[in-house]
Amino acid sequence: MSEISRNDPNARSPKVAIVYGSPSDAQTMSKAGATLERFGVPYEQVSVSAHRSPRTLAEYVDELAARGIAVVIAGAGLAAALPGSVAALTTLPVIGVPITGGALDGMDSLLAIVQMPPGVPVATVGLNNSTNAAVLATQILALSDPGLRALLTAFKDDFEKAAAAGLEEALAPDR
């Protein structure tokens, strides 16, 4: 059919759509999937380009809300139109991941994704930081899911525990 190769690694209906502009983005975006799996959030992954296949993208985005998708994570590099195009076509929250590469090594995609016009927001995370995109998506879902909220609390507590353990180690007298 198209550039879309839908890959749903979860048995349950996906709540998050991870979309990226090219198969060459798959490795960078794989951290989003791994992070969602850690929280038990079902998701799907799709590669579809805003520039190369705009009509296919529009058809895909049109169906998202009806299929139960609640949040979109969209990653792209170069003249990264994908996250903004998705945001233009849906009222679902869209989290953008600018991806490095090319002559400007990510400055182009960062500005393309973060500088959206008023009324069409894309919540942009750091370059290649699809992990944070997945954490933010989980935080959005947790607004109506106490179980997810508890998992996120434990996730953040782990940072404190690791820091406290490191401090204890550093301050411990020589053994």
22 is in an annotated binding site: yes
Give percent helix, percent strand, percent coil of the chain, each to the nearest 5: 50, 15, 35
Q: How far is the CB of 23 from ligand RP5 (least distance, A)?
A: 7
- Distance from chain centroid for Cα 73: 3
Select 41 or 94, whichever has its Cβ closest to ligand RP5.
94
Select 21 or 96, whichever has its Cβ closest to ligand RP5.
21
Select 72 or 99, whichever has its Cβ closest to ligand RP5.
99
Quote the CA–CA distance of 165 and 78 in Å, as a whole number: 41
- State the DSSP code for 7: B
12 token code pair: 């349950």
Q: Which of 112, 32, 25 is nearest to 73 (CA)?
A: 32
Interacting residues toward ligand RP5 by CB under 6 A:
20-22, 24-25, 49, 76-78, 99, 101
Select 44 or 108, whichever has its Cβ closest to ligand RP5.
108
Q: How far is the CB of 133 from ligand RP5 (least distance, A)?
A: 14
Q: How far is the CB of 85 from ligand RP5 (least distance, A)?
A: 11
For the chain, give the number of residues. 175
Q: How far is the CB of 17 from ligand RP5 (least distance, A)?
A: 15
55 is in an annotated binding site: no
Q: Where are the beta strands (DSSP E) in the chain?
A: 16-20, 43-47, 71-77, 94-99, 123-124
105 is in an annotated binding site: no
Q: Which residues are annotated as a binding site for substrate?
A: 22, 25, 52
